Amino acid sequence: MENFSQLVNLSIESEINQSEEINKVKQAITNLINVELKHENGKITGSSKNYKDLLIIYENLRVKQNIAVARRILRKNIIKDSTHILYNKQAAYVKSLVICENSNESSLGPITITITSDNILNFIDWIAPRRKKK
């Protein structure tokens, strides 16, 4: 994993549906990102200031070669100094990291990861670099 030299704030959340077990939702989240989680108000949330907590996602983007999709979504979702990306909760539970274009693509609702940085474009270039044309 390449180093990312700027400050970053990460937050993650997922709604818990009545049909879901809390521990299964927590497992789905920890299959994406390694942060301490809290359960409150019908949601599971977590946060971090360490970009290295994104190691699973960082490596998965490279292995599955879906960097271009992640890059497009992260850039499209920029608001001021933050962006977000959605992952399918059911797929994450079985360690398959599937990016969602919108929340409707995950029948039980997505896992939302929000990233805030003073230079969000640098962050996007780090996690999902532009592919060099051959």
For residues 48-75, one letter each, b for 16 or more C-beta atoms within 10 angstroms of the residue's C-beta and e for the rest, the string is: beebebbebbbebbeeeebeeebbebbe
pLDDT tens for 66-79 read 899 999 999 999 99
pLDDT attached to residue 62:
83
Burial of 109 (0-12, 13-18, 19+ CB in 10 A): buried
Q: pLDDT tens digit string along 45-92?
A: 999 999 899 988 999 888 877 899 999 999 999 999 999 999 999 999
pLDDT tens per residue, range 5-26: 888 999 999 999 999 999 999 9
Say how far apart CA 85 and CA 97 lie, in whole Å: 12
Confidence of residue 132 (pLDDT cuts 50, 70, 90): low
Q: Is the pLDDT of residue 125 over 60?
A: yes
Please give the pLDDT value at position 131: 74
